[in-house]
Structure 1
Amino acid sequence: MSERTVPAQKPPAGSTPRRMPGGRGPGFGAGMPAERSMNFGPSARRLLGRLRPHRLQLSGIIALAVVSVGLSVAGPKILGHATDLIFTGVVGRKLPAGSSVDQAVAAARASGNNAFADMLARMHPVPGAGIDFSALGRILLLALGLYLAAALLSFWQGWLLNGVVQRTVLKLRSDVEDKLNRLPLPYFDKQPRGELLSRVTNDIDNISQSLQQTLSQLLTSLLTVIGVLGAMFWISPLLALVALVAVPLSVLVTQRIAKRSQKQFIAQWAHTGELNGRIEEAFTGHELVKVFGRQREVEAAFTEKNEQLFKASFGAQFISGIIMPSMMFIGNLSYVAIAVVGGLRVAHGSMSLGDVQAFIQYSRQFTQPLTQVASMANLLQSGVASAERVFAVLDADEQSPDPVEPALVAQPRGRVEFEHVSFRYEPDKPLINDLSLVAEPGHTVAIVGPTGAGKTTLVNLIMRFYELDAGRITLDGVDTSTMRRDDLRGRIGMVLQDTWLFGGTIRDNIAYGRPDATEEEILAAARATFVDRFVRSLPDGYDTVIDEEGSNVSAGEKQLITIARAALAEPSLLILDEATSSVDTRTEVLLQRAMAALRSDRTSFVIAHRLSTIRDADLILMMENGRIVEQGTHEQLLAARGAYQRLYLSQFSQALTEEDEPTDGAARTPAAAQGALSG
């Protein structure tokens, strides 16, 4: 069990106990971390800034997009020529053959049809001739070629962009993984595991999806707006101005709706992380939930958080979803205005029918990218909200860096010395004050005391999981703060009460701390720790695959494997945190013998709750409230009749029978209790 004294946080109603890495107790860190939300603009710029290493590919993507959009923009104008060719042929066939256009215009004006005369004068038809199908065929083939080339270039652009996005997300995942390895243990103490997992999995996946679906559309839409706008002004500045009236209205509507949806998306992903945390808690502690009959409370807490997620998700999707129909409505208004004005201009001969048709197509192409951007607003908002959460991890304070010129232990012997060490988890709540002790090479130092005394904290300080407030710890005379953490921890073997096995074979799990170990060395470590005894009975032996939860081996067998792992690493310093608590009595006796052999050549720190397991320790430290109140051998501390004796006798108080109790009502003294036990 962990013994760190940490400010208590009251878990939410219905929450399940959690087991944090390193043996931290139930309920630790159950509250949500304070989270500062960044604005959309800075977060989006920072996310796009991660694309800078791919500048060359991005330049190619932009070039392909420019050419592709340019070809697409030219299409309606060419099709407009085809429409003019068809309309001219139809009108020309109705005119008398052999007459000239001027005569047809004069005849129309003479009959009072001035609008038709103006249209004929602009069209230049050939009287009596029909549609020139050969010319029409060439125009249509040209348009087909342009559209086909645009599609191929767009496909190439999408392929390149997909590579850029996926490599960017790959780098982001690597950065987050590296960042997690650089973060200090206190950071993980304050983060619910489900919430942290949601940030490094769900949020990064959402960023990938958002970038993939929006970058290409945004680039294409921007270039399309520029190209189409230029073509519209070239055809008719008046109609272009009519179409542009819809732009500020569209921008205003989009901004108003986007601001409201951003808050909802941030809440959506925050609630997603919290819900994942609750699910992870309930799954990890499902046995405790059932034992204590808390299923209804857990279900109620889940339902409440799920309802909050539903409301946030519904609000985010609904609000952002309003943008697209709003843009379509504004686009339709623009379309009606262009059709009316354009029809009037054709009737008066100011424009050709093909130009009006091309302009209507351009107006659709002009509003379509705006509508696409509007429809992607929910993806953008969601992706940036996820990016904020990932950036919060990347911006977290890291552990202090290793020294540039680290100190090295010339001759490893395993001598550990605490020199006036002080440490506290919270600035206003001291835990360890001015502690000094020496562990000589080859000695076994047992650390005992009540819960919260600081036993696990002591060994965590040796491992440099936390930095000291004052004093120093030396290993073979070298200050551990001047060493690289990897060098320090490479000399230490640690077996925790909470076993950890990964999905793999038993052989791989044993060799985890020493991948280059030979088969004989692995087998020797397994035999020394009695792993070989039960592995031989398995059908696949050492090739038996352990699942991630280790459910196909017993708790005691898992502990045996972790002890074999420590034995194979051959550390100069060994830390055992109640390492035999999960094994049966007979196996514990065998393990005590194996541990005695394992500790013979190295310094060992043993955290023990069952005092019977550390009777042969060279030095026993009795801790209370972060202080060493007594130290000595087992016999010396019992003879002192102090705190150690009281703790020792309390473990056997349940063994006293009624006839052992005094009949005169007098309280039993520690000496009398000890005599009863020995009797």
Structure 2
Amino acid sequence: SIWRDVLVASLAIQLVGLATPLFTQVIIDKVIVHQTHSTLIVLGVALVLCVFFTSGMTWLRQYLVLHTGNRIDAVLGSQVFKHLLRLPLPYFEQRPTGTLVARLQGVETIREFVSGAAVTLILDLPFLLVFLAVMFAYSWQLSLIAVGLLGAIALISFLVAPLFREKLNQQFMLGARNQAFLTEYVAGMTTVKSLQMEPDIDRKYGDCLAQYLAAGFSTRQVGNSYQVVANGLEQVMTLAILIVGALLVMRNDGFTVGMLVAFQMFASRMSQPLL
């Protein structure tokens, strides 16, 4: 039931997103040319209502997704803990406490996925195909430019994903090791003090922390590199559509300035999930 409501909200958001460029096209091609102030007021009010409606539906969709994520987190967390209680004693004797706690907290990763951008992209993907069909109806030349550059961004994302996942796993394992180290030695601080192990423990923790920070820096560098390349290609797409679109407008073949602006808005909407 909740996912049905989320799907309905996504449909409403995408339909309004489809209407906004069309209203913009009418304002540029019809209202400004004929100077019809009354039509401008009507369309302006319609655009404002579209903005408020989209904001409200986006908030509602995100609320439903977050609510579902919390329910999944509660069920999984409870089931994982019950499973942990049923494990034999040797399982706990062979693993540090901190590592077990870190793995229990890994359930939160599933909730973050459910309530994150990935699920929103999955829900919006069928509607993006509708946007693509409308773009081809406007201009197949500009659509090929958009598809080519957006396809390049998607390909880079596909190639980078395994590396990024590997970096995240490495960072998680090092973080679990750090947490296990802290948990074990803080719990055994009496022994550490009695044996005067503070300098040795401090040096070991410093090494562990340095490795964890280096892994986090490497992970963020992969993400930053992808963002730079993806944003660069998106800007190239915008400029290419503008230049080729201007040539189409100057040919006077029925492609208008308003259609060019509307097409840019459609292309921008298509690129958002990839950035």
Match for residue 272 of structure 1?
175
2:262 is aligned, of 358, 372, 377, to 358
Q: What is the Cα-based RMSD across aligned positions, in Å?
A: 1.7
Query: Does the 8 A contact of 1:193 with 1:280 survive in 2?
Result: yes
- What is the CA distance between 1:238 and its match in structure 2? 1.9
Question: 2:132 is matched with which residue?
Answer: 229
Deviation at 1:87, TM superposition (A): 4.0
Correspondence for 1:514: none
Whole-angstrom distance in 1 between the partners of 2:186 and 2:214: 24
* Superimposed CA distance per residue, residues 218-242 of structure 1 (whole angstroms, 9 cap, x where no aligned partner): 2455255323212211221221111
SS in 2 for 1:349: coil
Q: CA deviation at 1:169?
A: 0.7
Task: Tell me which residue corresponds to 1:173.
Answer: 77
1:270 and 1:71 mapped to 2: Cα distance? 44
Partner of 1:595: none
2:22 is the counterpart of 1:72: no
Q: 1:164 corresponds to which residue?
A: 68
SS at match of 2:156: helix
Which aligned pairs between 1:55-454 and structure 2 lie closer than 5 A? 56-89=1-34, 131-201=35-105, 203-219=106-122, 221-223=124-126, 225-350=128-253, 351-371=255-275
Amino acid at match of 2:15: G
Specify whether residues 234 and 148 from structure 1 end up closer, same or farther in structure 2 by C-alpha distance, changes over 3 A only.
Answer: farther
* Change in CA separation of 1:245 and 1:221 when aligned onto 2, cut-off 3 Å: same
How far residue 150 of structure 1 moved from its aligned partner, in angstroms, is 2.4
TM-score when normalising by structure 2: 0.93
| Aligned equivalents of 1:140, 1:235: Cα separation in 2 | 23
Following the alignment from structure 2 to structure 1, what is the Cα–Cα distance between the partners of residues 165 and 50? 40
| CA 1:220–1:343: 2 relative to 1, 3 Å | farther
Runs of 4+ in 1 over 6 A off after TM superposition: none
The CA deviation at 1:162 is: 1.3
Q: Distance in 1 between matches of 2:258 and 2:98?
A: 61
Answer whether contact 2:113 2:119 (CA < 8 A) is retained: no
Distance 1:254 1:216 in 2: 16
Name the SS of the counterpart of 2:252 in structure 1. Answer: coil
Deviations 1:326-355 (Å, cap 9, x if unpaired)? Answer: 111111111111101111111121211110
* Greater per-residue helix proportion: 2
Question: Against the structure 1 CA distance between its residues 320 and 262, is the aligned structure 2 distance closer, same or farther, given a 3 Å change threshold?
Answer: same
**Conserved? CA contact 2:62–2:115, under 8 Å:** no
Aligned residue pairs, count: 274
Separation of aligned partners in 2, 1:142 and 1:368: 24
1:215 is displaced (CA, Å) by 4.3
* Cα drift, residue 61 of structure 1: 0.8
Letter in 1 for 2:269: Q
Counterpart Cα distance in 2 of 1:304 and 1:207: 30
Query: What's the offset of the Cα at 1:86?
Result: 4.1
What is the one-letter code of the residue matched to 1:64?
A
Task: Work out whether residues 265 and 316 of structure 1, in 8 Å CA contact, stay in contact via their aligned partners in 2.
Answer: yes
The alpha-carbon deviation at position 160 of structure 1 amounts to 1.3
Decide whether the 8 Å contact of 1:69 with 1:223 is kept in 2.
no
Task: Tell me the amino acid that sits aligned with residue 242 of structure 2.
Answer: A
* Counterpart residue number, 1:653: none
8 Å CA contact 1:271, 1:309 repeated in 2: yes
| 1:212, distance to aligned residue in structure 2 (A) | 2.0
- With structure 1 as the length reference, what TM-score do the two structures score? 0.39
Q: Which amino acid aligns with 2:111?
A: S
Specify the code of the residue in structure 1 equivalent to 2:183.
E
The residue that corresponds to 1:409 in the other structure is none
Between structures 1 and 2, the one with greater strand share = 1
| 8 Å Cα contact 1:78/1:139 also seen in 2 | yes
Q: Is the 8 A contact 2:174 2:211 kept in 1?
A: yes
Cα distance between partner residues in 2 of 1:133 and 1:266: 59
Answer whether contact 2:150 2:234 (CA < 8 A) is retained.
no
Amino acid at match of 1:81: V
Q: Identity over aligned residues, as a percent?
A: 20
Q: Offset of 1:243 from its aligned partner?
A: 0.9
Deviation at 1:80, TM superposition (A): 0.9
Looking at structure 2, the residues matched to 227 and 155 of structure 1 have their Cα atoms a distance apart, in angstroms, of 23
Question: Aligned equivalents of 2:53 and 2:151: distance in 1?
Answer: 33
Structure 2: where are the runs of 5+ without partners? none
Q: Contact 1:246–1:334 (CA<8 Å) still a contact in 2?
A: yes
The one-letter code sitting in structure 1 at the alignment partner of 2:177 is E
Cα separation, 2, equivalents of 1:181 and 1:291: 33
Which secondary structure does the structure 2 equivalent of 1:293 belong to?
A: coil
Gapped regions of structure 1 (runs ≥ 5): 1-55, 90-130, 372-679
